[in-house]
């Protein structure tokens, strides 16, 4: 078993799926010869050629549109948005076409496309290279949104996304690309979409989060364990639709929930998690449900000190958890 970084796990999953099924192909800006601006498709062009690793014009609506058409025709496209921030021109294609087609055609048609996009801040990206965009898509039935938190999960979930019969938005945290490393098996394994995972068991407080914030939660939990505070970490993995059962089970056990996201606080994924908890766990709650999120400003600032202030980090998670544990 090799130790892979988060982005190497992306590349490996793509490679294995393209080897397994010749209907799988990749399209996006600079994904071919260049191997992607983040090197996510590194080596695929050489291995599979220009017909299966397609460089597209700078037109996100076309990348999504071409992919959706190919998917409806029976192919398995993996479309890449160079940055999640650039997905806006493709929203009409993704929501109005991909997400709706099965319902609209009364189950005659479906659209098994995977759209990959790097999201998130913390790499000094400023306004157009830092945003979290999951909430925009998180009330569109027909669409699935997967946001893995570790290299192992990346490989298993990306394979499941590619094999899924419906459109999947696969969001990768760009800071996690080279920050997170772990052992990733070279076997062909998948992780089910729509299932959250308890990354750490605990009894005092539950953290519900996803993506890179899981990493911060793990570090904070480690620190708090030294002070006898036992933290349970629920990694949503799929943020839409949400795995209600795992959340309910965990929060019913601990009675205290901290919900963490890098996205703006208002209208974010964790607001939905809070609603699930209040609908189902009232008589098990021992403290108000707390949210830790970015302030309601358009995007992560460019200035490093402000970016640091804006972002979630281990200290902030630790502080919030400690407060809740002491409540």
- Residues with a catalytic annotation lie at 129
Crossing angle between the packed helical segments 6-20 and 151-163, to the nearest 10 degrees: 30
**Positive/negative CA dihedral, 43, 44, 48, 50:** negative
Site residues for other proteins, 157-176, by CB under 8 A, read 174-175
Q: Is 323 one of the binding residues for other proteins (CB under 8 A)?
A: yes
- The one among 30, 55, 182, 284 contacting other proteins by CB under 8 A: 284
Instruction: Report if residue 152 touches other proteins, rule: CB under 8 A.
Output: no
By the rule CB under 8 A, 119 interacts with other proteins: no
* CB nearer to other proteins: pick between 80 and 197: 80
Binding to other proteins by residue 279, rule CB under 8 A?
A: no
In whole angstroms, the minimum distance from the beta carbon of 199 to other proteins comes to: 21
Residue 257 forms beta bridges with which residues?
Answer: 206
Which residues does 313 contact at the CB level (< 8 Å), separation at least 6? 216
Q: How far is the CB of 254 from other proteins (least distance, A)?
A: 8
123, 142, 198, 248: residue in contact with other proteins (rule CB under 8 A): 123
Does residue 310 touch other proteins according to CB under 8 A? no
- Contact flag: residue 97 with other proteins (CB under 8 A): no
Using CB under 8 A, pick the residue from 20, 33, 34, 124 that binds other proteins.
124
* Count, residues in the chain: 327
Q: Does 2 bind other proteins (CB under 8 A)?
A: no
Q: How far is CA 190 from CA 11, 53, 121, 220, in A?
A: 15, 23, 28, 28
For 73, the token pair is 């025709």
Q: Is 166 or 262 the residue whose CB approaches other proteins more closely?
A: 262
3-class DSSP state of 321: helix
Q: Does 285 bind other proteins (CB under 8 A)?
A: yes
Contacts 24+ apart (CB under 8 A), 47-50: 47/15, 47/18, 48/18
Site for other proteins in 177-236 (CB under 8 A): 177-179, 204
What one-character-per-residue DSSP string does 188-236 give? -----TT--EEEE--SSEEEEE-TTHHHHHHHHHHHHHTTT--EEEEE-
- Toward other proteins, which CB reaches closer, 101 or 321? 321
Say whether residue 144 binds other proteins (CB under 8 A): no
Instruction: Rule CB under 8 A: say whether 125 interacts with other proteins.
Output: yes
Residues 6+ apart with CB under 8 A from 272: 138, 242
Strands 144-146, 168-173: pairing kind: parallel
Only one of the segments 19-27, 63-71, 208-216, 284-292 lies at the binding site for other proteins (rule: CB under 8 A); that segment is 284-292
Phi, psi (deg, nearest 5) at residue 278: -70, -30
Where do contacts with other proteins occur on this chain (CB under 8 A)?
7, 38-39, 118, 123-125, 129, 174-175, 177-179, 204, 255, 282-287, 308, 315, 319, 322-323, 326-327
């Amino acid at each position: 078993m090799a130790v892979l970084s988060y982005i190497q796990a992306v590349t490996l999953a793509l490679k294995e799926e393209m080897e397994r099924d010749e209907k799988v192909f990749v399209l996006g800006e600079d994904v071919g010869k260049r191997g992607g601006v983040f090197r996510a498709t590194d080596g695929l062009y050489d291995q599979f050629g220009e017909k299966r690793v397609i460089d597209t014009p700078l037109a996100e609506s076309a990348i999504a549109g071409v992919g959706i058409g190919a998917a409806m025709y029976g192919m398995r496209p993996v479309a890449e948005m160079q940055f999640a921030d650039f997905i806006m021109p493709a929203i009409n294609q993704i929501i109005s076409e991909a997400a709706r087609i099965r319902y609209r055609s009364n189950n005659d048609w479906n659209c098994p496309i995977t759209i990959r996009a790097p999201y998130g801040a913390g790499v000094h990206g400023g306004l157009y290279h830092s945003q979290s965009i999951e909430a925009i898509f998180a009330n569109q039935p027909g669409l699935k949104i997967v946001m893995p938190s570790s290299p192992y999960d990346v490989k298993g979930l990306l394979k499941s996304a590619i094999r899924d019969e419906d459109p999947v938005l696969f969001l990768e945290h760009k800071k996690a690309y080279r920050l997170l490393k772990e052992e990733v098996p070279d076997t062909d394994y998948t992780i089910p979409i729509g299932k959250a995972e308890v990354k750490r068991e605990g009894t005092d407080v539950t953290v519900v989060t996803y993506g890179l914030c899981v990493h911060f939660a793990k570090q904070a939990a480690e620190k708090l364990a030294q002070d006898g505070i036992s933290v349970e970490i629920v990694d949503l993995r799929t943020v839409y639709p949400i795995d209600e059962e795992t959340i309910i089970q965990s929060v019913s056990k601990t009675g205290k929930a901290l919900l963490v996201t890098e996205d703006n606080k208002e209208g974010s994924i964790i607001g939905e998690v809070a609603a699930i908890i209040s609908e189902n766990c009232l008589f098990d709650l021992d403290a108000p449900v707390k949210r830790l999120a970015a302030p309601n400003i358009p995007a992560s600032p460019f200035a490093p000190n402000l970016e640091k202030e804006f972002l979630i980090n281990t200290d902030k998670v630790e502080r919030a958890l400690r407060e809740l544990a002491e409540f």
